[in-house]
Structure 1
Amino acid sequence: MSLALSYAPKPRPFARRALPVSSRPAGRFLSRVLDGSSPSDVQKVGLIRKNGKCRKEVRLLRTWFQKLSDISSLASTEATLKDALTDAVRELGFDCYAYLNIQPVRTTAISNYRHEWQQRYFERGYKDIDPVVTTARARMEAFTWAPESPRKLSSRVRAFYAEAGDWGIRSGITIPIRTAFGHMSMLTVASHKPSLSLEHDIDQLAAVTAVALLHAKLEQHEPEPTARAPVELTARQALCLKWSAEGKSMKAIAAIEGMSFATVNFHLNNARKALDAGSLPQATALATKLKLI
């Protein structure tokens, strides 16, 4: 049976083949509309279908975030975690992932982007112009992204997007989280597609919870980054910092190395600036952690 009218002397412009009757009101509405209706009714059908698609997208992402939480909880080794992340990202329909731990000087990445692109990203300081990082800092919530109209972008950002696109990174989802001492980490899943079809808000709680668990697991394993921001100290800066880390005062360092007090102070100050440290103790701690001394 059908709810389609059994007679129609003058078929209307929007006439369609009758659909099977559904016991639900939405099904009866669809059947009536597609048999013969006004343009406004057809728009309502489109809205119903769009809403159904949005609900499906939300459920899919929520399930994926739960899977990411499970992976973070169960992975016992660095290799297991990275392999599971790669598989999960592909199951979601994306190509690759990048986890950025953004801190002064020692920003690091764990990613399966092409190694050449990761190295180029850090060597050229792209973190400072990357619109995804800028948006993550400003919003601190999960969001989708794709290049805007070229006329709205600066020449540097246009060049950055074009280069990223050459490496197959054209759109994605990014979830930033606040970490200890006011720092930020973010997980990005990226696609070669020029835009995403996601049309509904992301479940923020599920997204942040999943990435927070991932961050905790990575902090626990302390994996070797796949790329990091380059930090360099001169030989004398490293030497003076090493003596400082050993508990020597600037006066003692000057006497040991045969330098003037002013020279030691000069090298230590430059080392502190190179490490973006607020104090000499912080500079020595950073240099030690980065294995520069």
Structure 2
Amino acid sequence: MSARNFDEEYETLKVIGKGYFGTVSLRKQKSTGNVYACKESNLSACKTEQQKQLFITEAAVMKDLDSTGIVQHIDQYFDQANQKLYIVMEYCDDCNLTQYVIRQKEQNAFVPEAFVWHVAHQLLQGLDYLHNRARKDEIIVHRDLSPNNVFLSKNGDARMGDFGFTKTLKRDGSWLKLEAFEYAYASIVPPHHHPLELLMNQSYNEKADIWNLGCCLYELVALEPPYLKKTLAELIKQIQDTGVPKVPSQYSERLQKLIDNLLNFDVNQRMGARDLLDMFRLELEAK
């Protein structure tokens, strides 16, 4: 592949997010005038090979994804000399789900149930694609589906993004296990959307994404996460003691049933994306 001058191809308009390993900026493609979100990851800042591999996996996974409910991949480039990885993506021009919830709380306004079902539909379609259709021999597990990583457009579309924690799973009934550095991270950062099996450092599979979706949807209706304790031990105890929390009374029993299925403690009984799409098809597809 011939060398590219990425900054010549894409003009930076503004930085819209910043972290230890890099930035997300709004960039304009000079040849088309189109505006995209660009994630720039600094691999030289990674302290371990495992951390670096997460970014490499993100790029490898995203380039092949094409589904409703998932941020569209546009372009990517690895700057070998500077150890920087650029991933250019669809720009969702409203806000993320966290910001949307904050906005609703400030306005003292509950989210319309029709919009909750719409978001659920799009994200379940995305998870069904990752888990069942994206690759013939592998299941793609997002592992970090949280309100921070669900992006909304002004036309009402919802897209999951940030595949930096993604892993793949063979279609042979095998399970994943958290690596030591991943579990240490979960112990430090309040992991309000991690499923019980990950919090307890147990093996897990793609059903972890289903739990994460349940936490996202519950926060959308209650305007706060389902479980709020800050330490790992307190959070595990709260989940076990509380069970599945009730949605506010203005929402339907069917929506509560969806949340109950998503937040099922027993991973073997927790429904998959395809079955959930079938079970709640009328509500999910309602206009």
| TM-score range normalised by the length of the shorter chain | under 0.3
TM-score if structure 2 supplies the norm length? 0.23
TM-score if structure 1 supplies the norm length? 0.23
> Greater relative contact order: 1 or 2 (C-alpha under 8 angstroms, separation 6 or more)?
1
